[in-house]
Amino acid sequence: NIRRYLINPNQVHYHGQELNTTTFNLARMNLILHGVDKERMNLNNGDTLDADWPSEEPYQFDSVVMNPPYSAKWSAADKFLSDPRFERFGKLAPKSKADFAFLLHGFYHLKESGTMGIVLPHGVLFRGAAEGTIRQALLEMGAIDAVIGLPANIFFGTSIPTTVIILKKNRSRRDVLFIDASQDFEKQKNQNVLLDEHIDKIVSTYKKREDIERYAHVASFDEIQENDFNLNIPRYVDTFEEEEPVDLVAVNTNLLKVNEELVQQEQVLLSLINDFSESEENQALIDSMRLLLRGGHDE
């Protein structure tokens, strides 16, 4: 789908790196199926976090698109504190969650005029400790341009809802556009699917960068700072729909009316019972029905 928004996709060169050999081969096959010539793709089978990009690869890219493994483990070794990708932030992503390690890797290789989009679990928006420190630093430099909440169950292999974080370098402002697109999807057999109309709505909202009730909000840096740099989308986009207020007087009036009708119907039923032949074989049944209608208490 991303190719629909490229000015001239035939001039785009694709560079990528993937640790898992099977996924690496699938990526090459996917590019071929989408009409990308061999001369325009350069993929490596390697460990992105541990080895970074091969030296012969371009240093920075016009566009970075990432969908890394969510909350994967990594070494978080002390040597990475002097790695140019991470050193300016003073903290490393925790060993049990490499999400920000992948994010900072991609951001480091982004051109000054480029745009980056990365898909991650929602935890990166609000978790604290080292992740909170890194998130705050990114916000203070104005690197986070937008946060887009996606529906659950749109990726194979996981049903969790995810978020797309858009990052840029050298922004002149530090506001953040929040888009809650979590309810826009088509439910199919085993998967929720983003249709073209849903994607177009997200792209249009991103371009306009305006508030849309229950869908989008442009939060100032001061507003984000007041929220302790927590980027959890519901803090900024209120999707709650209030229910109509209940008229208690009307409800009480209706209950009284229903009770009156019940009493009338009971009287009609008792009258029918009395008219029923009170033979010995029917008498027990009649007594039981009378008892039930009187609430289980004999007179």
How does pLDDT run across 28-79, given as a tens digit for each residue?
999 999 888 888 888 889 898 988 877 766 678 999 999 999 999 999 999 9
Query: What confidence tier does 234 reach under pLDDT thresholds 50, 70, 90?
Result: very high
Check pLDDT > 70 for residue 178: yes
| Residue reference for tokens 């927590």 | 230
Domain locations in the chain as residue ranges: 47-235, 248-293
Query: What confidence tier does 296 reach under pLDDT thresholds 50, 70, 90?
Result: low
Q: For domain 47-235, which CATH number applies: 3.40.50.150, 3.30.70.260, 3.40.50.970, 3.40.190.10?
A: 3.40.50.150
As a whole number of angstroms, the distance between CA 133 and CA 70 comes to: 19
The larger pLDDT score, comparing residue 72 to residue 277, is at: 72
**Given this model, what pLDDT does residue 243 score?**
62
**Given this model, what pLDDT does residue 249 score?**
81
**Given this model, what pLDDT does residue 2 score?**
45
Question: Is the pTM for the entire model greater than 0.75?
Answer: yes
Six-digit token string for 113: 């005029």
What are φ and ψ of residue 45, in 5° steps?
-100, 95
Check pLDDT > 70 for residue 127: yes
As a whole number of angstroms, the distance between CA 232 and CA 288 comes to: 62
As a whole number of angstroms, the distance between CA 292 and CA 66 comes to: 69
**Given this model, what pLDDT does residue 276 score?**
58
| Residue reference for tokens 């009156």 | 260
Nearest to 118 by CA among 167, 66, 154, 49: 66
Least confident of 161-175, 177-191, 236-250: 236-250
How does pLDDT run across 239-259, given as a tens digit for each residue?
766 666 777 888 788 888 888
